[in-house]
Amino acid sequence: MTEPSGTAGTDFIRQIIAADKASGKHDGRVVTRFPPEPNGYLHIGHVMSICLNFGIARENNGCCYLRFDDTNPAKEDQDFVDSIMADVSWLGFDWQDQLTHASDYFAAIHDCAVKLIEDGKAYVDSLSADEIRAHRGTLTEPGVDSPHRDRPIAENLDLFRRMRDGEFADGACVLRAKIDMAAPNMNLRDPTLYRIRKLVHQRTGDAWSMYPMYDFAHTISDALEGITHSLCTLEFEDHRPLYEWILDNLELPSRPRQIEFSRLNVAYGITSKRKLAALIDKGLVTGWDDPRMPTVAGMRRRGYTAQSLQTFVRNAGVTKKDKLIEMGALENCVREDLNECAPRVFAVLDPLKVVLTNYPEGQMERLTAANHPNLPDMGSREIPFTREIYIERDDFMEDPPRKFFRLRPGGEVRLRYAYIIKCVDVIKDAAGNVTEVHCTIDPESKSGKPGAERKVKGTIHWVSAAESIGVEVRLFDRMFTVANPDAERDGKAFTDFLNPDSLTIAPDCRIEPGLAAAAPGTRVQFERLGYFVVDIRDAAPGRPVFNRIVTLRDSWAKLERAQLAQI
């Protein structure tokens, strides 16, 4: 693995934290938190936040809470809680004892609300949601005070108690902070602190009939946990004044500082939970863990490694500038990691039969192949060689372009770890499609023999026809046809930009026999093709299904494109 770029570790947030430690702020403690709402699966954007928060805690001998922001029972679900914990663990982080929920603090948050009411800093508003919106004003016009804004404290206290006790229907009233209806920052125009939701909460059951809003619950939770640095994404920058107002007007045990950074977006993907969920609802993908999804579960099933994801976000950096990072940067991290650890094997995705006419029928040799050409410690394996083999259909061309140095009529090519063969005949069906190629082997060119030193331009992979196993392989491509599907244009929805070829199934692939028993989750390199993983859901014993994780770099494809462009 390459070292992250030299500046990693010195981003502006880490600089702030280093300065705080140096000045003795918080007695030098560093406490962070990753606060997901359990209303969807984690995606690549969250990976950034997870690595930042847990990474910073680790680097500073601090700790990082995994806190579920479960303040809206209408949207949240235990399923999502489970998936989030599994994803964070898989990514390589440990929250130890620091697993919490905003709901753990509901009583304390309630008491904070009461305190604000008692201090005349919060009031119960009986306006409807529509009326509140109308009173809020617009971006350019100030809002107007609610007629209930100056209710006596005693009345507010009574109303709030009755909200808590379930005396009112959903929407009948809310608790609002009394700040400034003319504030240029919309978040300060008397933001809602509590709303009535007569729903069973997945953790607190029916104990509450009202729930705190994000800003209120989150700020108090941070302070209660002794969070020193509360890191969040840019869209919360406008909320910081409210965060600070809450800290200023309550007596909390600590004073966290909110710092915002930009979200990480990957080109040709989306990271909106709503849109991700829509893809599932519409049946456009098979689920949250569809290997095309930019979710952690999807990328894991796709075969990406946790290490490569960590490297990726670290290389991306931490700044306040909007990022749209090339897919290739992610893929490169995956290749870089897998190149080190994935054993090499042979598989043919689109088989073309080759008959070696001068090789005895019924004969079989076991040839030795290295599991990793650059890492001898990974050992070797034997692969069966027979008279009939399969090669990649792409590796034969009847009328090849310039610089094509694989198999062609009359031409020679090396079968990796085996013999040099020469094409002597091409068999076609009535439609003119090549169905079979006949070749002769050069027996002196067998790998390991002195004659093997003879050079030919190309080397291709192959698999024995009789001694290989048929499997299904799934090939994935980018999910969208445009770099930034989140930015809708011309009134089109993001689903209008779905790539119809994001999934291609190769149903009749052939793999070397030793792979039949590969366990789900096993990652290998199919030589010359790419990295593949045994699917963790659909594999049957003895009959694995493979997902293509990422292709190898392909300078031939690039050359071919360049040649085509010249025509």
Residues 159-198 close enough to bind RNA by CB under 7 A: 170-171, 173-174, 184-187, 191-192, 195-197
Residues with catalytic function: 37, 263, 273
Inter-residue contact 261 to 318 (CB < 8 Å)? yes
272 lies in the site for RNA, by CB under 7 A: no
| Segment lying near RNA (by CB under 7 A), choices 212-220, 300-308, 473-481, 536-544 | 212-220
**Which amino acid is residue 450, in one-letter code?**
P
Q: Exactly one of 427, 466, 487, 505 binds RNA (CB under 7 A); which one?
A: 487
Which is closer to RNA, CB of 256 or CB of 317?
317
| Segment lying near RNA (by CB under 7 A), choices 111-119, 200-208, 209-217, 430-438 | 209-217
Residue 203 to residue 213: CA distance in whole angstroms: 17
CB of 202 to RNA, least distance (A): 14
Which is closer to RNA, CB of 4 or CB of 226?
4
Q: Which residues pair with 370 in a beta bridge?
A: 380
Which is closer to RNA, CB of 414 or CB of 539?
414
10 lies in the site for RNA, by CB under 7 A: yes
Residue 259 to residue 440: CA distance in whole angstroms: 69
CB of 176 to RNA, least distance (A): 9
Q: Exactly one of 200, 207, 234, 466 binds RNA (CB under 7 A); which one?
A: 234
According to CB under 7 A, which residues from 345 to 374 bind RNA? 372-374
How many residues at the interface with RNA, by CB under 7 A? 100
84 lies in the site for RNA, by CB under 7 A: no
Structure tokens at 234: 């840019």
According to CB under 7 A, which residues from 87 to 106 bind RNA? none
From the CB of residue 455, how many other CB atoms can be counted at a distance below 10 Å? 8
Which is closer to RNA, CB of 336 or CB of 477?
336
Q: Exactly one of 320, 428, 492, 537 binds RNA (CB under 7 A); which one?
A: 320
211 lies in the site for RNA, by CB under 7 A: yes
| Segment lying near RNA (by CB under 7 A), choices 4-12, 18-26, 145-153, 470-478 | 4-12
CB of 270 to RNA, least distance (A): 13
145 lies in the site for RNA, by CB under 7 A: no
Which is closer to RNA, CB of 289 or CB of 527?
527
Q: How far is CA 434 from CA 397, 425, 426, 557, in A?
A: 9, 11, 7, 22
237 lies in the site for RNA, by CB under 7 A: yes
CB of 318 to RNA, least distance (A): 6
From the CB of residue 81, how many other CB atoms can be counted at a distance below 10 Å? 18
From the CB of residue 414, how many other CB atoms can be counted at a distance below 10 Å? 20
Residue 363 to residue 361: CA distance in whole angstroms: 5
According to CB under 7 A, which residues from 413 to 452 bind RNA? 414, 416-417, 445-448, 452
- The DSSP output letter for 501 is T
Burial 471-502 (b: 16+ CB within 10 A, else e): bbbbbbebbbebbbbbeeeeeeebeebbbeeb
Inter-residue contact 203 to 54 (CB < 8 Å)? no
CB of 338 to RNA, least distance (A): 10
328 lies in the site for RNA, by CB under 7 A: yes
Which is closer to RNA, CB of 176 or CB of 387?
176
Q: Exactly one of 167, 248, 326, 508 binds RNA (CB under 7 A); which one?
A: 326
Which is closer to RNA, CB of 135 or CB of 474?
135
Q: Which of 263, 232, 298, 327 is nearest to 40 (CA)?
A: 298
Q: Are strands 347-348 and 503-511 parallel, antiparallel or unpaired?
A: antiparallel
- Kind plus residue range of the DSSP H or E element containing 307: helix 306-316
CB of 196 to RNA, least distance (A): 6
| Segment lying near RNA (by CB under 7 A), choices 7-15, 381-389, 425-433, 512-520 | 7-15
256 lies in the site for RNA, by CB under 7 A: no
CB of 36 to RNA, least distance (A): 7
Phi-psi region of 490 (alpha: psi -120 to 50; beta: other; left: phi over 0): left
Structure tokens at 233: 């994404």
Strand order across the 192-196 sheet: 122-125, 174-177, 192-196, 210-212
Q: Which of 255, 205, 219, 186 is nearest to 112 (CA)?
A: 219
459 lies in the site for RNA, by CB under 7 A: yes
| Residue 531-560 contact track with RNA, rule CB under 7 A, x = bound | ---------------------xxxxx-xx-
Inter-residue contact 510 to 536 (CB < 8 Å)? no
Q: Which residues pair with 176 in a beta bridge?
A: 123, 192
Inter-residue contact 359 to 350 (CB < 8 Å)? no
Structure tokens at 330: 């992610």
Inter-residue contact 180 to 136 (CB < 8 Å)? no
Residue 100 to residue 511: CA distance in whole angstroms: 47
CB of 317 to RNA, least distance (A): 3
According to CB under 7 A, which residues from 23 to 62 bind RNA? 35, 37
Which is closer to RNA, CB of 37 or CB of 538?
37
